[in-house]
């Protein structure tokens, strides 16, 4: 989709000005995907981009591509709210975050800032200040998007934009990608610089990308890495994927998810370039037991960063769910020491136990629940939030970059296959995701690669 859009620009069959106009015209405020839409600025950038294509001088491999940016990442000239009223910046950002600057340098056009869970501190995706985005995969019953990169995932899943930036600490890109039926990439912690990004957990915060397909993701990463052509997913030897046995990341899945996952794994065994290995990975159970006993680094660092907001009038302005999580996190500061001290050892254990393979599991252990069910009570919200994040927070602690990929009926059900690698092996996870991605349904569906359709067909 992204490659074909850029190719249409190159052939003069479409223009950035026409596509961006379609994005702006097609957005409905009631969708709550965006907290800020920079219409005038985006149009100016699109006009300049169109002129560069016409002169045969594109800035880079993403020239003219409209993108959305999670509203905890600075974009020059746009406000940064962090999904909050008490932590919002009083003025617009004066400069781009490093990752936004890198995308701009390759020709991408930020059209606006996307909604998120307040302070990026929830896996559900609700927001009482900016409204709650509804999962575009919903039919009769509104479903949660997942969070905290709720607006980013929904904007891509709806066809509003072909690429969105997010952040992922405990699952905030991977979870909404799975729930919304798109591809979501959580980078290794040092893969991209975090200058200009609001932090929740300095130890575990990472950046991520959301795109319609794994091929789109690979195309964008290749552009960011200085190339214009995405790497061939079929190059190299077979990809080895370990499905862990005897561990809850698979065994604890809801029956619907377990059945879908089993079918997907059986299908993958038929692929020439995929090798499935079913064996225990004891490090997963050991790391989970450690966090269950002593708490999480995310909770401890979130309290260190935002615990001050529980004092004084600010507390009354916070999302009550965030208040509960912060209060619960206050005690973790005193207990989390063993979790932190063993992190390096356990990350090395992942590498050793995988032995050159990658981990394969469901991204989330259940399908996206109805918004009304999650928000029915404080107890329900907290229970759902913990379960939604249980797999991804474990893999974040183990330092694993990962890509959530919808496959088969999972795209409709809001389920994702999560392929994860040892820290630093991001390209291996992306290549594997390309082999896993089943895009037949996308090709059979209406051509949503016409971003912002129908307005985007204008040639400007």
Catalytic positions are 70, 148, 172
CA distance 160 to 450: 9
The backbone torsions φ and ψ at residue 454, rounded to the nearest 5 degrees and listed phi first, read -90, -5
8 Å CB contact between 126 and 225: no
DSSP H or E stretch at residue 329: helix 320-329
Q: How many C-beta atoms lie closer than 10 Å to residue 427's C-beta?
A: 16
CA distance 416 to 367: 9
SS3 448: coil
DSSP character at residue 409:
T
8 Å CB contact between 59 and 52: yes
DSSP H or E stretch at residue 383: helix 378-397
- H helices present in 67-182, as ranges: 98-105, 150-157, 174-180
| Burial 252-276, CB ≥16 within 10 A → b, else e | ebeeebeebbeebbeebeeeebbeb
In the structure encoding, which two tokens stand for residue 168, read together? 């992922």
């Amino acid at each position: 989709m992204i490659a074909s859009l850029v190719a249409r620009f190159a052939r003069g069959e479409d223009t950035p000005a026409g596509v961006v106009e379609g994005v702006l015209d097609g957005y409905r405020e009631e969708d709550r995907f965006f907290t800020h839409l920079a219409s005038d600025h985006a149009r100016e950038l699109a006009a300049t981009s169109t002129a560069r294509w016409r002169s045969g001088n594109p800035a880079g491999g993403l020239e003219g591509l409209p993108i959305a940016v999670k509203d905890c990442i600075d974009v020059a000239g746009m406000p940064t709210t962090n999904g909050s009223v008490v932590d919002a910046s009083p003025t617009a950002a004066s400069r781009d975050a490093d990752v936004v600057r890198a995308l701009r340098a390759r020709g991408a056009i930020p059209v606006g800032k996307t909604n998120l869970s307040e302070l990026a501190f929830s896996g559900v995706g609700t927001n009482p200040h900016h409204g709650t985005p509804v999962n575009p995969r919903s039919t009769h019953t509104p479903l949660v998007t997942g969070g905290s990169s709720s607006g980013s995932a929904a904007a891509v899943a709806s066809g509003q934009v072909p690429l969105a930036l997010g952040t992922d600490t405990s699952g905030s890109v991977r979870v909404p990608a799975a729930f919304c039926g798109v591809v979501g990439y959580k980078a290794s912690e040092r893969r991209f610089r975090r200058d200009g990004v609001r932090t929740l957990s300095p130890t575990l915060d990472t950046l991520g990308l959301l795109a319609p397909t794994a091929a789109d993701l690979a195309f964008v990463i290749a552009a960011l890495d200085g190339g214009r052509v995405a790497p061939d997913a079929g190059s190299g030897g077979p990809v080895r994927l370990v499905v862990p046995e005897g561990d809850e990341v698979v065994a604890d899945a809801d029956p619907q998810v377990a059945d879908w996952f089993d079918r997907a794994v059986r299908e993958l065994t038929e692929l020439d370039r995929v090798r499935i290995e079913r064996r225990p990975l004891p490090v997963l159970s050991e790391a989970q037991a450690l966090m269950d006993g002593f708490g999480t680094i995310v909770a401890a660092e979130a309290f260190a960063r935002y615990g001050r907001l529980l004092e004084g009038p600010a507390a009354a302005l916070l999302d009550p769910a965030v208040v509960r999580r912060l209060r619960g996190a206050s005690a973790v500061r005193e207990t989390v020491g063993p979790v932190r001290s063993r992190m390096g050892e356990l990350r090395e254990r992942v590498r050793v136990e995988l032995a050159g393979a990658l981990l394969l599991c469901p991204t989330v252990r259940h399908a996206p629940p109805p918004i009304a069910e999650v928000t029915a009570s404080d107890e329900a919200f907290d229970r759902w939030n913990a379960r939604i994040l249980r797999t991804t927070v474990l893999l974040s602690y183990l330092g694993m970059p990962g890509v959530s990929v919808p496959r088969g009926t999972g795209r409709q059900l809001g389920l994702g296959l999560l392929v994860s690698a040892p820290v630093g092996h991001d390209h291996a996870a992306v290549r594997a995701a390309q082999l896993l991605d089943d895009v037949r349904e996308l090709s059979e569906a209406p051509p949503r690669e016409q971003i912002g359709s129908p307005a985007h067909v204008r040639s400007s």
